[in-house]
Amino acid sequence: MRILDALARFCAILAGVLLTGITLMTCGSLIGRNTVGVSIVGAFELTAVAAGAAIALFMPLCQLRRGNIIVDFFTAGLRPSVNDKLDRFGCLLLAAIFALLAWRTTLGGLNSYSSNSETQIMGFPEWVVYATMVPPFILAGVISLYQAVFGFGGAEEPEAAI
């Protein structure tokens, strides 16, 4: 689990760096447009590309920390052992969903690469975005599968429902 934790944290750091860079670029573009009338061409394209990649990069840490929404209205009164089994089953379902996302994102990236698909203004190759999303989806799936098999020992507990 230490390796999965380190990889999840690394992905989250990459996402944070990516979003920080995009934020600085957007601020620079806005300041330039409002002061000297020059903005960064295609800044909104880069923002969209980076946001998609960042969301995927945050997924492994979210799953590791059990940060997904848990609706326990119907299960709040059940025994902890039953809730644990339900949580593990949910993790198994999430592992399957992340595997499906990784598979379909891989196919989308290969299709984008073979058709030389690019963004409209900058001509940024779209397959790069797909390529950055596949490894975090795989990692999130592995973390989910680990949690389904071995439980949640050592992982931070989810926040209490409000």
Which tens digit of pLDDT belongs to each residue from 44-86? Answer: 889 988 999 999 999 999 999 988 777 777 788 889 888 889 9
Q: Which amino acid is at 113?
A: Y
Q: Is the pLDDT of residue 91 over 90?
A: yes
Task: Give the residue among 149, 140, 156, 131 at the shortest CA–CA distance from 4.
Answer: 140
Q: Is the pLDDT of residue 93 over 50?
A: yes
Q: Is the pLDDT of residue 104 over 60?
A: yes
Q: What is the pLDDT of residue 153?
A: 67
DSSP state at residue 65: T
Q: What is the pLDDT of residue 159?
A: 46
Neighbours of 7 (CB within 10 A): 18
Q: What is the pLDDT of residue 129?
A: 92
Rounded to whole angstroms, the Cα distance separating 40 from 27 reads 10
Task: Give the residue among 52, 59, 81 at the shortest CA–CA distance from 142.
Answer: 59
| 125 CB-side CA count, 13 A | 13
Q: Is the pLDDT of residue 147 over 90?
A: yes
Give the torsion through C-alpha atoms of 26, 125, 49, 4, to 10 deg.
Answer: -130
Q: What is the pLDDT of residue 157?
A: 47
Report the Cα 70 to chain-centroid distance in Å.
18
Q: What is the pLDDT of residue 70?
A: 73
Query: Residue 109 in contact with residue 158, Cβ under 8 Å?
Result: no
Tell me what the pLDDT averaged over the chain comes to.
89
State pLDDT tens for residues 10-47: 999 999 999 999 999 999 999 999 999 888 888 888 99
